[in-house]
Amino acid sequence: MDYRKIYEQWLKDEYIDEKTKEELRALEGREKEIEDRFYKELEFGTAGLRGKLGAGTNRMNVYNISKVTQGLADYIKEKGKEFMDRGVAIAFDCRHFSKEFAKTAALVLNGNGIKAYLFESLRPTPELSFAVRTLNTTAGIVVTASHNPKDYNGYKVYWEDGAQILSSIAEDILKKIYAVESFGSIKSMDEKEAVKKGLLNILGKDMDDKYIEKVKSLSIRDNSEDIDKDIKIVYTPLNGTGNIPVRRVLKERGFTNIIVVPEQENPDPDFTTVGYPNPEDTKAFKYAENLGTEVGAELLIATDPDCDRLAIEVRDKDGNYVPFTGNQTGAILIKYIVEGLKEKGRLPKNAAIVKSIVTGDLGKRIAEESGVKTYEALTGFKNICGRIPDFERTGKAEFIFGYEESIGYVTGTFVRDKDGVSSAMLLCEAAAYYKKQGKTLLDVLNELYKKYGYYREKQISLVLEGVEGKSRIDRMMVEYRKAFPKEINGSRLVKYIDYDERTCYDVENGGKLPVDIPKSNVLRFFLEDGSWYAVRPSGTEPKIKIYIYSIDETLQAADDKIKAIENIVLSKLESVK
């Protein structure tokens, strides 16, 4: 059915409210906008839903939330009464309509006889993962668009292990979603009735207390002889969910100099002071840098709106703030955690770290020196934390830390997703520890480079929106598979991995080996000088991403390698029209 017919169906549907119909009628004459809203249904996958707010099948609204939740409910009901009774935990962030979407989901579940545990107000995403495991619910939902702009929202589904659903579950839920014939067939329940029947349960302080205690249990050093808790730190929650839990855990740990950016302290769905609330973007640190300069802060930390990711900037000798990448922060955390656990006699003999396939290798080098093995997984913490059940079942490893280059980290196993709260605590603890030794985190990073070589990196995203953009991204991946450079800057290609084929190809010897990682549309190329790069479409945004890594004895040489790879790869991709 074409987009026009679906648009007209929405205008006629008795279950669509008049306000939504008014929004749709106002689109007449804007054919491209109508097409973009109705040419497809908002895609549901392992990352759940994410899209722009508004009316339409390709937008985030209560109708699509209801339909997806009905599909999830049907999937749970098929598993039996035990799964229904265990219920679903639900959290939400500070965005427009997040609370409404969360309550809509809860009442649809209730209408299907499934218990819902809904947080009373906004909470960080990692606490949702923790709640799923603590309450032993069948699933979890968090309404968030993470770091996307203000006109976006999202809906992520977690399974009973506390991790986001894997593709096998997502595919089964998707079949149930497709089977929902109309909005009129969706079951829901009145809120008062749901509470009376014990189907709608509200979560609050009790769950917060349990979560914070578990976070504090990750502490490695707490003695004032070991760490300087007077270290001056500026924190910005970027108007999101991190404000209360991050400040609480640091206060309870005894950190006395945590200064919060006042303009970005409280929830703001419009992100007025930052626009694009992604702490990976150094522009998000503008207010923190100004405040840091004013108060003389040694460290700046920022969490994204749902507080699952963390970024930092460190003051240098000239008083300027130097941003760290996710790989650099990950390396610092690995050094601090692994060496600290080893010193305290708490490092498991078979300790393991898991990183994504597009994350750099410096952390791996640091871990190896202490006998800690690094495993790889596909991008996303559903895959990184997805390694934990296998480790527990086989006993081959004990998970201590997981991370990816996009500023996501998790320590321990009580949260099965990236966790900005625990990462903030451990990062501040690390900074306080090294300060006691007369070092900043920048000093520590430079020591690592001198020891292991200069690891450099660059990530490039080509944004291609809409129907045409998606088609072009698909063509880029097809064409790059057919013809990729065999040499860059005098360095030969020695091997490449096609994760869609789950095969590693030895270019020099012509051999090939299977790759023990699930299928995914990712290509990764390794050069003889130790450089490598990867190309993949984003799973949540209209982008094709290029990840470039190099290593050399000098900073300049490593940067030159990055530039050479960037020029060749971009030229090839952009030639695909």
Return the structure tokens found at 173. 């839920």
Cα 352 to Cα 111: distance, rounded to the nearest angstrom:
43
Cα 201 to Cα 194: distance, rounded to the nearest angstrom:
9
Q: What is the DSSP string of 500-555?
A: TTTEEEETTT--EEE-SS---S-EEEEETTS-EEEEEE-SSSSEEEEEEEEEESSH
Dihedral over alpha carbons 569, 572, 575, 577 (to 10 degrees): -80
Task: Of 331, 234, 366, give the one whose Cα is nearest residue 290.
Answer: 234
**Which residue has 């790869």 as its token pair?**
569
Cα 131 to Cα 416: distance, rounded to the nearest angstrom:
11
Task: Of 421, 423, 402, give the one whose Cα is nearest residue 413.
Answer: 402
Cα 430 to Cα 222: distance, rounded to the nearest angstrom:
11
Cα 255 to Cα 426: distance, rounded to the nearest angstrom:
12
Cα 58 to Cα 304: distance, rounded to the nearest angstrom:
25
- Angle CA 203–68–44, to nearest 5: 110
Cα dist from 503 to 211, 256, 499, whole Å: 41, 52, 6
273 phi/psi in degrees, rounded to 5: -90, -10
461 as an active site residue: the answer is no
Handedness of CA 73, 79, 81, 85 (dihedral sign): negative
Cα dist from 404 to 116, 296, 381, 414, 417, whole Å: 31, 30, 8, 18, 11
- For residue 31, the 8-state DSSP code is H
Catalytic residue among 146, 422, 423, 531: 146
Helices (H), 386-440: 387-394, 420-436
Q: What angle do helix axes 420-436 and 243-253 make, rounded to 10 degrees?
A: 40
455 phi/psi in degrees, rounded to 5: -90, 120
Cα 142 to Cα 137: distance, rounded to the nearest angstrom:
14
Task: Of 413, 404, 410, give the one whose Cα is nearest residue 348.
Answer: 413
Q: In sequence order, what are the residues at sequence separation of 6 or more whose Cβ sits closer than 8 angstroms to the Cβ of residue 3?
A: 34, 35, 37, 38, 39
Return the structure tokens found at 361. 């290798």
Cα 135 to Cα 431: distance, rounded to the nearest angstrom:
34
Active-site residues, by number, are: 146
